[in-house]
Amino acid sequence: MIRDAPDRYFASFVVQTEPGALLHRETVVGIDLGLTHFAVLSDGTKISSPRFLSRAEKKLRRAQRALSRNQDGSRNRDKARLTVARAHARVADARRDFHHQLSTALIRDNQALAVEDLAVRRLARTRLAKSVHDADWSGFVAMLEYKARLHGRAFHRIGRFEPTTRTCSACGTKDGPKPLHVRAWQCPACGTWLDRDINAAVNVAKAAGLAVSACRAQVRPGVIPAQRGEAGTHRGAA
């Protein structure tokens, strides 16, 4: 039995299972991890954090506020501290569940996967980035990697600095840096309208040598949402 900080008990045991044989897939995928969405795929799918995770995070913030209001050494403060510890544990559990579900689905549906190396990303980000996202992403990427190995899927980390948001995924032309609020732009060389996140995911896949189509990175000029500033950028004009 293991007892962790918020007074929860776990029976710990190891289950040995044969990795279930997965069907061979023709599909491959590039993955861009970000803040506006948890992940954006080269096929155009945008994945947000699930509601059960945001709910747990909201409860945690509320518990933390209650604790900071409780500054005396009273029993109430001990209680508030325990509530925070429990809320922390629930967030960690919810996040792990989400990472498991998403990584399992991605491994099941794709023969090869590519993701930007996070050490590289840290170099490119701004200081506004929160370390919580680093921990969040690296936990997820580690999970993807071991599941890929377990199931014989190819897994690529794009290690070199690839200017994924400067390069047009349709024609390969390298354009100037773009501030983070620019969510879509038109390639000056080939005229394609590009979605920032999907373009990055396609470039990650291409940098790994995966044959993905750039057509999902294209947007019609008419559907581009109003551009606005954002707080909490995780990378500058990379």
User: Vertex 230, ends 227 and 232: CA angle to 5°?
Assistant: 155
Tell me whether residue 32 is one of the annotated catalytic residues. yes
Measure the CA–CA gap between 24 and 22, rounded to whole angstroms: 6
Query: Is 170 a binder of Zn ion (CB under 5 A)?
Result: yes
Interface stretch with Zn ion, choices 45-53, 164-172, 199-207, 229-237 (CB under 5 A): 164-172
Residue in 43, 145, 162, 197 annotated catalytic: 197
Q: Using the minimum distance from each CB to Zn ion, give the nearer residue, 6 or 163.
A: 163
Q: Beta strands of 79-166 (E only): which ranges? A: 112-116, 154-158
Applying CB under 5 A, which of residues 119, 182, 190, 215 lies at the interface with Zn ion? 190
The catalytically annotated residue of 32, 43, 145, 162 is 32
Is 97 in the active site?
Answer: no
The answer to whether 168 contacts Zn ion (rule: CB under 5 A) is yes
43, 116, 145, 195: which one is catalytic? 116
4 is catalytic: no
Specify the DSSP class assigned to residue 218.
B
Q: How far apart are CA 187 and CA 192, in angstroms?
A: 5
In this structure, the dihedral spanned by the alpha carbons of residues 17, 23, 27 and 30, taken in order and rounded to 10 degrees, is 0
Residues catalogued as catalytic: 32, 116, 197
Kindly list the residues in this chain that would bind Zn ion in the complex (CB under 5 A). 168, 170-171, 173, 187, 189-190
